[in-house]
Amino acid sequence: MIGYLEGRVLKLENDSILLVANQVGYEVLLPATVVEAVQSKAVDGDVSLYIYYHQTDRQPKPVLIGFDSEEEKAFFQLFISVDAIGPLKAAKAMEHPVSTIARAIETKDVAFLSTLKGIGKRTAQKIVAALHGKAGLFVKGEDGLTAVAGGGDVRVHSGSIQGVIDQVVGVLTGQLGHTSGAAKAMVAGALERNPEITTPEDLFDEVYKGDAS
């Protein structure tokens, strides 16, 4: 399975690219925000993309969807966990930065989510119902800090607590084998249950307390 590609852009379309890596051309579907990033990078030569590989019995032809960062890919994997949102629909819907969509989910902004390509009001409501409380780690505050949702609000964490979050997510992904999206969702849930956490040890305890329940 392909998880990462780096190479030269041979052809750039409105929503995809033909990427040449090791003399092989890969057709890669791109969300709108990733197209913009690729356009700026392609001028300098090589482009690197994190790849979501999609193939099922109903979709036997492999589809590669590219992202500019692991964070974007992790949010995409969280996004497609919603019933009725498949990878192709999710890629088209991601026409705004991940942080903007995540903030809309955490603030229950159904009106904004309804404007995403291919997402109507009913699907927007499903997104909020399924992901509210899980998308907070993808929200960026105005000062660039990560925000975590809880109790219907989005609270921006800074200083030591952000270091705790980064440390725990790093261990969950690097040592315990969780995907980035799963790790962030686990940490978001733990902080929502106990917003008074201040140490990595307490955060780990809360993460696995929720996992065991």
| Residue 101 and residue 43 share a domain | no
Please report the pLDDT score of residue 150 as a whole number. 45
Please report the pLDDT score of residue 171 as a whole number. 82
Question: Which segments of the chain have a pLDDT < 50?
Answer: 142-145, 149-159
For residue 99 the two structure tokens come to 């942080």
pTM tops 0.85 = no
Please report the pLDDT score of residue 168 as a whole number. 85
| Residue 180 and residue 135 share a domain | yes
Q: What is the 3-state secondary structure (H, E, C) of 53-114?
A: EECCCCCCCCEEEEECCHHHHHHHHHHCCCCCCCHHHHHHHCCCCHHHHHHHHHCCCHHHHC
| Residue 76 and residue 55 share a domain | no
Please report the pLDDT score of residue 146 as a whole number. 52
Please report the pLDDT score of residue 213 as a whole number. 54
Sign of torsion, CA 168 131 102 39? positive
| Residue 85 and residue 163 share a domain | yes
| Residue 57 and residue 85 share a domain | no
How many CB atoms neighbour CB 173 within 10 A? 18
Torsion of CA 185, 186, 192, 193, to 10 degrees: 150
| Residue 99 and residue 9 share a domain | no
| Residue 97 and residue 39 share a domain | no
| Residue 56 and residue 103 share a domain | no
Number of domains in the chain: 2
Who contacts 7 (Cβ-Cβ below 8 Å, separation ≥6)?
19, 20, 21, 22, 26, 46, 47
Do 119 and 105 form a contact (C-beta atoms < 8 A)? no
Please report the pLDDT score of residue 119 as a whole number. 95
Please report the pLDDT score of residue 212 as a whole number. 56
Query: Where is the domain boundary, 35, 68, 101?
Result: 68
For residue 24 the two structure tokens come to 């092989």
- Structural domain span for residue 130: 71-212
| Residue 75 and residue 48 share a domain | no
Please report the pLDDT score of residue 156 as a whole number. 46
Angle at CA of residue 97, ends 26 and 211, nearest 5°: 90
